[in-house]
Chain A
Amino acid sequence: MRPRFFVRVGVIVTTIAGVSLGGLWAAERIARASIAGPGVANLAAQAQPIFRRADVRPSIKNPSANAREFFFTRAIYNGGRRWGSWATDFPKADRQFLTILDRLVDMDAYELENAVQLDDPNIRRFPFLYALEVGNMYMTESEVKGLREYLLAGGFLMIDDFWGQWEWDNFEAEIKRVLPEYPIIEVPLDHPIFNTVYNIEEIVQVPNIGNAQRGGPTWERDGRVPYVRGVFDENGRLMVIINWNTDIGDAWEWAENPYYPLRYSTYAIEITVNIIVYAMSH
C-alpha cells in the first residue's frame, strides 16, 4: 500500500472525529442554553411580588409559573458524560409526562419543564425532584449540602435510569455523601407508594427506546433485575426513591410512539403518578 493512502485515511478520520466532537460540544452548549432558559425564567417570575395571570388560564401554549402547585423539577448536578447526564431525554420526557399527568390526576401542575441546580437555594421551593443517569454523578460539595438540606427540610427525590453494579456503586457513594446516616432499603411491594393512585403489583424493567422497539433485551450492562429502593427518614417516610436498572423517563418520552410497548409506558406513568402523589402527601 502506498503511503498516500494512509495520509488520506488519516485526514478523513481526523476530519470526521473533529467534526463529531465539535458537533457534540455545540449540541451540549445549545442544550444547556435552552434548558437553563425556562428554569431561570420561572424562578424570576416566582420572585415577583405581584403577578396577575394572563387573560386566559395557563395551558401548554400559555404556560404560567405563578401560584402553581406542582413543578416537575429536574435536578441539574455535576458529573456524567461530557454532554451532561442530567439532561437525558430533556425536555421532551418532562413535557410529555406533564401532559399525561394533567389528564390522569386532578392537580395544578406547571406545564413545562423546570430544571434547577442542586446548590441553587430556590430548589427548596420545589419539593419534588427528579434525577437520572446518576451512575455518573459526581456532586460538588455545595451540591451535596444543597441536596442534604433539601431532603431534610422535607423535599423528595426520585432517581431513575442507571444500570448495573458499577453505576449503583457510584450512586450509592454519592447519596452516602448526602445522607450518611440513613441506609438504603428495599421498598416492598406492599408499601403505600405502590397503591397511592394505581395498584402496582410488579416492578417492571422499563428498557430504553432502542431495546424496547427492537424487542431486544430489556436490560443494559449487567443490570438484569429492576429494583425499587429507598431512603427513609426517622418516621418511616420515603425521602429518596431509587429506580435502578430501569429507564422510566424513556417511557414517558416515547409513550406516544405507536411502536413503543404499552406495557412499559403504562408502568412508567403509573409508578411516577404514584410517586408524585405519595411525595405530596407523606
Chain B
Amino acid sequence: MFESLFEFFFKYRPIAFDEGAIAFRPTLATYLAALAVVAVGVVTYRTYREVRANSRPVDRLVLTGIRLTILALLVLCLFRPVLVLSQVVAQQNFLGVVIDDSRSMEIADRDGETRADFVTQQFGGEESPLLTALADRFALRLFGFSSSTDRIESVDELVFDGTQTHLGQALARAHQELDGVPLSGLVVISDGADNAEEPLADALLPLEAAGVPVFTVGLGREEYSRDIQLSRVDTPRSVLKGAALVVDVVVTQNGYRGETVSLQVEDEGRIVADQDVTLPDDGEPTTVRVRFTAADAGPRLFSFRVTPRPDEMVTQNNERNVLILVEDTREKILYFEGEPRWELKFVGRAVADDQNLQLAMLQRTAENKFMRIGVEDAEDLVGGFPRTREELFQYRAIILGSIEANFFTPDQLRMIADFVSERGGSLLMLGGQRAYAEGGYAGTPVADVLPVVLGEPTGEDDAGFFLETDVRPTRAGATHPATQIADTEEASGARWLELPPITLVNEIRDVKPGATTLLTSGDESLIVLAFQRYGAGKALAFPVQDSWIWQMHADIPVDDQTHETLWRRLLRWLVDGVPDQVVADLPKDRVELDESLALRAEVDDANYEEINNSQVSAWITDPDEELIEVPMDWTADRDGEYVASFAPRKEGLYEVRMEATSDGDLLGSDTAYIRVAPSDSEYYDSTLRTPLLERVAEETGGRFYTTDTVDSLVDDIQTVGGGVTVIEERDLWDMPIFLLLFLLLMLGEWGYRRSRGLA
C-alpha cells in the first residue's frame, strides 16, 4: 500500500531512492530561466512591500512566503534533478534460486494450498510468471535444499520430503557454485523453518563480504489457525528399571483454547500414561507433568502423543518419540548406623523388594563391633566403615544414620566429602542424637557438603532439642520425584498431610544458598528434607529419626505402601545420575542416515580421578548385529575426555558400548543407544519464520517478500543486485509530487486571500 502510494507520487519505488543517488543536470537555458525566476521573485517581494491596502504585516509575510516557495520549486525543477542508479544488465548476469525441498513445504496453510504449490505455480512451467520474468533478465541457476543442497534443472525434480532444513548450508553451496560468474544475487524460497545446528551467521558473513544480496520469499502463515503441538519433552536419557518418571511436556496450541485433550505415553505400543490436558491460550505454552513407570528394561522408545483433531492443519507435530535406556542394574548404597535403630530395620524392609537397589547396611552395636546386613560379598565392610577411597567409591550413595563425627578419622570425613564432590555420589544424612550438630559435624568437611546450616551443638548436660511434628511438602516437594508418595501430585500432597507425626532431635532451621527444601515441619519452621548439588554429586538432609512411624503407626493400615514408596523413590533419586568410572555420552538420541555421530566418553580411575592415558574403544553394534570397533582419542582439551565420530549406514537401533582399559586392566564400560531414523523436526515450529528470512535479507543487502509482494522482486533485483551493471539516470522533475505541491501552494494563496478579504 505504502509502496504504491510512494510510487504514485515519486514516480519510482522506494528501493530506487534507497539504492540511487540524486544529482542535478542543469544547462545554460536552466541558468537563464533561473535568473528570470529570481527577477520575478525580487519584483514580487517589492510589490508586496509597497502595496499596503488593508493588509496587515503578517498577511504580507504569509503571501510573500507562499509565492517565494512556488518560485523555489520552479527553480528546483529547472535544475533538472535526476536519480542515478546502477542497473543490472539484462541477460548478462546470473541469479541463484534456492528452493526449500523439505517436508514442511507440503503443509497446506495457504488457503488450502501447500507451500510447494506456490513453487509449482511460479516456477513449474514455461509460462510460469516469476520464472519467465526472472529468466527474461537473468541466467537462472536453480537449487533444491533440505539437509543437503543440489543443483536442479527444473522444479519438477523437487519432491518436498527432506527431513531437515539447512538454510545456511544451502546459501553457502549456491554461492560456491556461482563463484566466478557475474552474480546478481540469490533468491531463497522457503518457510524459514531452519533446524540446522550451525549458526546461520557463518553462512551470511561471506555473502555480505562478497556483496551478494539474498532476496528471501517467505511461504506459509506465521500462525496456524488450528494446531496442537508438543513443543518439548524433557526426559532423562537413562533411568533405573521400575523408576517412576515425572516428565514435563510442553504443549502449545492455536484455535482450541480451553478444550480438554488426552496426552498419552506409550512404551513401545503399551499405553503407560493417559492424562487430560486443558489447552492454554492461543500461542501460550503450557507445561504438563506426566507420570509413568519404566517397567521394562533395555533401550525403550517412548511416544508422547495428543490424538490429532480432525480439522488440525499439521498433525505430525502432535507426537514426540524419545529413546530412554531403562537400566536393570543393582545400585549399591551404603547405610551406616552408629547404634541399633529401628530406622535401619524399616528402611531395609522398605527397599528389600526393589531388585535395583542393593542396600549394604553396617550397624555399630558396641565399640568397634559392627554388624553387616545385605552385603554382596563376604569381605564387604568386614573392617567397618571403608578406609580407602577405592572401597568407598564403589558405592553410589552413602546414608549416615546416628553416628558421631568423631567416629571417623579426618581422612574418612574428607573421603565422604570427596565421595560427593569428586566421585559424583550422593550423601543422605538422617536425624539422630549423633547426627548433624549434635553429632559434632560442625566444621567438618561433611558439614560443607550438607545442604543445611548446622545449629549449635548441645552440651553434655543441655536439655536436647525434641519436637514431634507433622510434615508438609513445599512447592518444590509437591512435584519432586523423591517425595511422590502416591500416584498423582494431588494424592501425594494430600497423603503427606495425613501422615502421623514424626520426631526431630536436630534443630535445623535454614538451608544453604542454592539448596532446595522439599519437606518442612507442620509449622514450616524446621527443615525435614532438603538437597543441594555439591561438586559432581548431591547431598540430602533428612533429619527425621523415626520415619518408621509412617510404617508402624496404628493409623497406618498394615498393607499401606507409603513408607515403602517414600524410601524407594528417595533412594532411587539418590542414585539417579551417579556416574560410573566410564561414562558413555551421545549428544542426541537420534541421528539421520549418514549424519556424523559424535561419540564422547569420560574416563576415571578407581579413585575417580580423570585418566588421560587409557585405551578407549567404542564397540558399536549395528541393527544387523554387526560389531564395529571405533578407537577413541583423548581430546587434550579436558582431562579424562575421549572422542570419536561415526557415520551410521543403516536405519535402526545402534548399541554403543564404550570400554576403557589401562595397562591391560579394565577400568569399566558404559553402554548408550542411538536411533538412526529420519528426523521429524520439520513439523515442529513449522510456521513461516519471517524474522529469520528478514534477517538473511537485511544482513546481505537483499529484500524480504511474501507471496503478495513478490511481484516487485524482479525489478528490485535489477536495482539492488550485483554483477554486470550500467549507470542509468532517471528524470525526477516530472514527479507528480511537484505538480501537486504547485497546485496546493497556489490554492493555499488563493484561499488565504479569500479568507482575509484581500484582492
Asked whether any CB of chain B lies closer than 8 Å to the CB of A55, the reply is yes
Q: In the complex, A127 Cα to B563 Cα: how many Å?
A: 16
A residues in contact with B361, CB < 8 Å: 281
Q: In the complex, A54 Cα to B461 Cα: how many Å?
A: 9
Q: Indicate which residue in A107, A122, A123, A279 contacts B339 across the interface (CB closer than 8 Å).
A: A107
Asked whether any CB of chain A lies closer than 8 Å to the CB of B636, the reply is no
**A280→B342 contact, CB < 8 A:** yes
**B558→A105 contact, CB < 8 A:** no
Binary contact track B165-207/A, C-beta < 8 Å → 1, others 0: 0000000000000000000000000000000000000000000
Binary contact track A44-60/B, C-beta < 8 Å → 1, others 0: 00001111111111000
Q: In the complex, A106 Cα to B494 Cα: how many Å?
A: 39
Asked whether any CB of chain B lies closer than 8 Å to the CB of A74, the reply is no
**B365→A197 contact, CB < 8 A:** yes
Stretch at the interface among A11-19, A84-92, A152-160, A219-227: A152-160
A156 to chain B: closest residue by CB: B345
Q: A52 with B466: in contact, given A106-B364, A122-B554, A154-B349 (CB under 8 Å)?
A: yes
Q: Indicate which residue in A48, A66, A125, A152 contacts B553 across the interface (CB closer than 8 Å).
A: A125
B residues in contact with A66, CB < 8 Å: 466
**A125→B552 contact, CB < 8 A:** yes
Q: Indicate which residue in B341, B349, B549, B556 contacts A69 across the interface (CB closer than 8 Å).
A: B341
| Interface residue tally on A, bucketed by range | 35 or more
**B552→A124 contact, CB < 8 A:** yes
**B461→A57 contact, CB < 8 A:** yes
**Looking at chain A's contact residues, is the secondary structure mostly helix, strand, loop, or mixed?**
loop
Asked whether any CB of chain A lies closer than 8 Å to the CB of B366, the reply is yes
Asked whether any CB of chain A lies closer than 8 Å to the CB of B551, the reply is yes
Q: A280 with B468: in contact, given A152-B558, A154-B552, A197-B366 (CB under 8 Å)?
A: no
Asked whether any CB of chain A lies closer than 8 Å to the CB of B338, the reply is yes
How many whole Å from B601's CB to the nearest CB in chain A?
Answer: 40
Q: Indicate which residue in A51, A149, A235, A281 contacts B466 across the interface (CB closer than 8 Å).
A: A51
Q: A50 with B466: in contact, given A69-B341, A106-B364, A281-B361 (CB under 8 Å)?
A: yes
Q: Indicate which residue in A105, A123, A276, A281 contacts B344 across the interface (CB closer than 8 Å).
A: A281
A residues in contact with B342, CB < 8 Å: 69-70, 127, 280
Total interface residues on B, CB under 8 Å, equals 42
How many whole Å from B500's CB to the nearest CB in chain A?
Answer: 10
Q: In the complex, A92 Cα to B148 Cα: how many Å?
A: 91
A122 to chain B: closest residue by CB: B554
**B341→A50 contact, CB < 8 A:** no
Stretch at the interface among B111-119, B367-375, B511-519, B748-756: B367-375
Binary contact track A243-282/B, C-beta < 8 Å → 1, others 0: 0000000000000000000000000000000001101111
Interface positions, chain A 92-110, Cβ under 8 Å from B, are: 104-108
Asked whether any CB of chain B lies closer than 8 Å to the CB of A121, the reply is yes
Q: Indicate which residue in A54, A70, A152, A154 contacts B340 across the interface (CB closer than 8 Å).
A: A70
Q: Indicate which residue in B367, B371, B503, B551 contacts A67 across the interface (CB closer than 8 Å).
A: B503
A67 to chain B: closest residue by CB: B466
**A127→B345 contact, CB < 8 A:** yes
Q: Indicate which residue in B338, B464, B552 contacts A127 across the interface (CB closer than 8 Å).
A: B552
Q: In the complex, A152 Cα to B461 Cα: how many Å?
A: 40
Asked whether any CB of chain A lies closer than 8 Å to the CB of B53, the reply is no
A residues in contact with B554, CB < 8 Å: 121-124
Q: Indicate which residue in A50, A67, A123, A153 contacts B556 across the interface (CB closer than 8 Å).
A: A153
**B466→A125 contact, CB < 8 A:** no
**A105→B346 contact, CB < 8 A:** no
**A197→B349 contact, CB < 8 A:** no
**A107→B340 contact, CB < 8 A:** yes
B505 to chain A: closest residue by CB: A67
Q: Indicate which residue in B340, B348, B460, B545 contacts A105 across the interface (CB closer than 8 Å).
A: B340
Q: A108 with B339: in contact, given A124-B553, A152-B558, A154-B552 (CB under 8 Å)?
A: yes
Interface positions, chain B 325-368, Cβ under 8 Å from A, are: 338-342, 344-346, 348-349, 352-353, 361, 363-367
Asked whether any CB of chain B lies closer than 8 Å to the CB of A42, the reply is no
**B366→A105 contact, CB < 8 A:** yes
**B466→A279 contact, CB < 8 A:** no
A residues in contact with B363, CB < 8 Å: 277, 281
Asked whether any CB of chain A lies closer than 8 Å to the CB of B463, the reply is yes
B residues in contact with A70, CB < 8 Å: 340, 342
**A280→B505 contact, CB < 8 A:** no
B residues in contact with A121, CB < 8 Å: 554
B residues in contact with A117, CB < 8 Å: none
Q: In the complex, A127 Cα to B461 Cα: how many Å?
A: 29
Q: In the complex, A152 Cα to B466 Cα: how many Å?
A: 29
**A106→B366 contact, CB < 8 A:** yes
Q: A280 with B345: in contact, given A153-B551, A197-B369 (CB under 8 Å)?
A: yes
How many whole Å from A50's CB to the nearest CB in chain B?
Answer: 6
Binary contact track B130-159/A, C-beta < 8 Å → 1, others 0: 000000000000000000000000000000
Q: In the complex, A62 Cα to B371 Cα: how many Å?
A: 31
Asked whether any CB of chain A lies closer than 8 Å to the CB of B73, the reply is no
Q: In the complex, A121 Cα to B505 Cα: how many Å?
A: 24
B350 to chain A: closest residue by CB: A154
B residues in contact with A152, CB < 8 Å: 558
Q: In the complex, A235 Cα to B468 Cα: how many Å?
A: 32
Q: Indicate which residue in A55, A69, A123 contacts B461 across the interface (CB closer than 8 Å).
A: A55
**B463→A55 contact, CB < 8 A:** yes
Most central of B345, B367, B548 by chain A CB within 10 Å: B345
**B366→A67 contact, CB < 8 A:** no
Asked whether any CB of chain A lies closer than 8 Å to the CB of B467, the reply is yes
**B464→A53 contact, CB < 8 A:** yes
Q: A282 with B348: in contact, given A48-B468, A153-B551 (CB under 8 Å)?
A: yes
Q: A280 with B344: in contact, given A50-B468, A197-B365 (CB under 8 Å)?
A: yes
B residues in contact with A235, CB < 8 Å: 352-353
Asked whether any CB of chain A lies closer than 8 Å to the CB of B433, the reply is yes
A residues in contact with B464, CB < 8 Å: 53, 67
A residues in contact with B469, CB < 8 Å: 49
**A281→B371 contact, CB < 8 A:** yes
**A153→B558 contact, CB < 8 A:** yes
Asked whether any CB of chain B lies closer than 8 Å to the CB of A170, the reply is no
B residues in contact with A124, CB < 8 Å: 552-554
Asked whether any CB of chain B lies closer than 8 Å to the CB of A78, the reply is no
Most central of A51, A69, A235 by chain B CB within 10 Å: A69
How many whole Å from A62's CB to the nearest CB in chain B?
Answer: 12
**B468→A154 contact, CB < 8 A:** no
**A69→B339 contact, CB < 8 A:** yes
**A276→B340 contact, CB < 8 A:** yes
A residues in contact with B369, CB < 8 Å: 197
Q: A49 with B468: in contact, given A153-B558, A281-B373, A282-B345 (CB under 8 Å)?
A: yes
A residues in contact with B344, CB < 8 Å: 280-281
A residues in contact with B463, CB < 8 Å: 52-55
Q: In the complex, A127 Cα to B552 Cα: how many Å?
A: 8
Q: A277 with B467: in contact, given A122-B554, A197-B371 (CB under 8 Å)?
A: no
**B345→A154 contact, CB < 8 A:** yes
**A127→B340 contact, CB < 8 A:** no
Q: In the complex, A76 Cα to B467 Cα: how many Å?
A: 29
**A155→B552 contact, CB < 8 A:** yes
**B371→A50 contact, CB < 8 A:** no
Q: In the complex, A133 Cα to B463 Cα: how many Å?
A: 40
How many whole Å from A24's CB to the nearest CB in chain B?
Answer: 35
B369 to chain A: closest residue by CB: A197
Q: In the complex, A219 Cα to B551 Cα: how many Å?
A: 40
Q: In the complex, A70 Cα to B345 Cα: how many Å?
A: 13
Interface positions, chain B 551-566, Cβ under 8 Å from A, are: 551-554, 556, 558
Could you name 6 residue pairs across A and B whose Cβ atoms are closer than 8 Å? A67-B433, A108-B339, A154-B345, A154-B552, A235-B352, A280-B342
Give 5 closest A-B pairs by Cβ, nearest first. A121-B554, A280-B340, A152-B558, A53-B463, A124-B554
Other A-B pairs beyond A50-B466, A50-B467, A52-B463, 14, CB < 8 Å: A53-B466, A54-B463, A69-B340, A69-B342, A106-B339, A108-B339, A123-B554, A153-B558, A197-B369, A276-B340, A280-B342, A281-B345, A281-B373, A282-B348
Chain A residues proximal to chain B, CB less than 8 Å: 48-57, 66-67, 69-70, 104-108, 121-125, 127, 149, 152-155, 196-197, 235, 237, 276-277, 279-282
